[in-house]
């Protein structure tokens, strides 16, 4: 990376604690942040309880989920060699969401571990279905086709569940969950998602050289020793673990996995291996800032963070299209 790009990456890294402080200072109730930090998490004061039990786990979850979505999007784009790819393309998000919807639909104890664990299982099953449907030695285009088919089928099942929801309350709960939110999340959700996100990150880290080789083409990657099913499976299940656990605890949050790799790719010299960690960093920062915006939005009901990220992502692609047209006209 050039000195300029290294400087930009350092600024992004320095912006994370600033965004974290903004998140801890934001909310409907004003608190004395320095006093709450100094009193410690064992304190019974209202400010300390709000900070350590409400705001800090929410902020930590925003960083974790943002990093997982950014990294998952970078890995998906690298494996498919398609800048418009994202984890939802292969049904990861839909598989996790459908499993969670079924839990909500049947009124199970969603406050426990059942919903997150089934959502993670749904993501893994969706990836397994894509892999089986594509067949052994599937090309990137066949994986995309299999992913589109699985994703469409899972989306149809979600629509069916919404259509036959037992009550308006159940339908509202399902729709709100699908929109994505970090509200009312605690340390239980953080500790549940953390090991799966770490496991997914380790898998993707082990596959970073495969993604680099794959940027030269599938034949070149095979000639460099990356033939067989091991590395594609490593990437797919790494994405499933990281993104599936994120959907499990925060619902479906779009555009992070699509926009962030686009923003970071020029800063890492188009290197798919470096892009993983740059996208994780930028994804964590972007979702944390989006949640700060949610926390500072006044209304009778909290704005869903999935809607905020969509509002951020859509103008970016408008700009991308316009700038591309300008370059073609020159």
**pLDDT (tens digit per residue) in 235-273:** 988 998 898 889 888 888 988 998 899 888 888 878 888
Number of H helices, E strands in the chain: 15, 0
Residue 45 CA, distance from chain mean position: 34
Q: How far is CA 105 from CA 79, 101, 136, 167, in A?
A: 35, 6, 36, 9
**Could you tell me if 200 and 240 are in contact, meaning their C-beta atoms sit under 8 angstroms apart?**
yes
Instruction: Give pLDDT tens digits for 139-158.
Output: 677 888 888 899 899 989 88
Q: Measured between alpha carbons, how far is 57 from 52 in angstroms, rounded to an integer?
A: 7
**Could you tell me if 130 and 143 are in contact, meaning their C-beta atoms sit under 8 angstroms apart?**
yes
pLDDT for the residue 247: 87
Higher-confidence residue of 199 and 97: namely 199
Q: Measured between alpha carbons, how far is 204 from 235 in angstroms, rounded to an integer?
A: 6
Q: Measured between alpha carbons, how far is 204 from 234 in angstroms, rounded to an integer?
A: 7
Name the pLDDT band for 109 (thresholds 50, 70, 90).
Answer: very low
pLDDT for the residue 108: 56
**Could you tell me if 242 and 280 are in contact, meaning their C-beta atoms sit under 8 angstroms apart?**
no
Average pLDDT over residues 276-304: 88
Average pLDDT over residues 277-304: 87
Answer whether 0.85 is exceeded by the pTM.
yes
Average pLDDT over residues 68-93: 87
**Could you tell me if 263 and 51 are in contact, meaning their C-beta atoms sit under 8 angstroms apart?**
no
Average pLDDT, the chain: 84
pLDDT for the residue 72: 93
Least confident of 136-145, 222-231, 305-314: 136-145
Q: Measured between alpha carbons, how far is 65 from 245 in angstroms, rounded to an integer?
A: 8
pLDDT for the residue 288: 95
Q: Is 207's pLDDT higher than 50? A: yes
- Identify the three-state secondary structure at position 243: helix
Instruction: Give pLDDT tens digits for 26-67.
Output: 888 888 888 888 888 877 888 888 999 999 999 999 999 999
For residues 288-318, one letter each, b for 16 or more C-beta atoms within 10 angstroms of the residue's C-beta and e for the rest, the string is: bbbbbbbbeeeeeeebbbbbbbeebbeeeee
């Amino acid at each position: 990376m050039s000195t300029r790009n290294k400087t930009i990456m350092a600024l992004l890294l320095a912006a994370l604690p600033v965004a974290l402080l903004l998140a801890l200072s934001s909310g409907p109730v004003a608190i004395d942040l320095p006093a709450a930090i100094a009193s410690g998490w064992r304190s019974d004061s209202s400010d300390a309880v709000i900070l350590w039990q409400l705001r800090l786990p929410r902020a930590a979850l925003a960083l974790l989920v943002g990093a997982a979505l950014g990294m998952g999007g970078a890995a998906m784009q690298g494996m498919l060699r398609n800048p418009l790819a994202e984890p939802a393309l292969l049904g990861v998000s839909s598989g996790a969401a459908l499993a969670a919807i079924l839990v909500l639909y049947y009124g199970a104890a969603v406050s426990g571990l059942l919903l997150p664990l089934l959502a993670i299982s749904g993501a893994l099953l969706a990836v397994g279905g894509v892999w089986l449907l594509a067949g052994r030695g599937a090309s990137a285009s066949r994986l995309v086709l299999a992913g589109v088919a699985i994703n469409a089928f899972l989306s149809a099942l979600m629509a069916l569940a919404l259509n036959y929801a037992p009550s308006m309350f159940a339908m509202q709960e399902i729709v709100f969950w699908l929109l994505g939110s970090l509200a009312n999340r605690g340390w239980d959700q953080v500790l549940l998602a953390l090991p799966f996100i770490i496991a997914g990150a380790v898998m993707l880290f082990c596959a970073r050289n495969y993604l680099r080789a794959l940027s030269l083409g599938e034949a070149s990657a095979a000639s460099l020793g990356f033939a067989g099913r091991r590395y594609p499976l490593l990437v797919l299940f790494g994405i499933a673990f990281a993104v599936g656990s994120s959907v499990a605890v925060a619902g479906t949050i779009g555009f992070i996995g699509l926009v962030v790799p686009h923003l970071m790719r020029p800063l890492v010299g188009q290197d798919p291996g470096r892009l993983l960690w740059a996208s994780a960093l930028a994804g964590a920062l972007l979702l944390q800032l989006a949640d700060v915006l949610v926390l500072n939005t006044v209304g009778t009901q909290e704005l869903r963070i999935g809607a905020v990220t969509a509002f951020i992502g859509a103008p970016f692609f408008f700009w991308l299209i316009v700038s591309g047209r300008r370059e073609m006209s020159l």
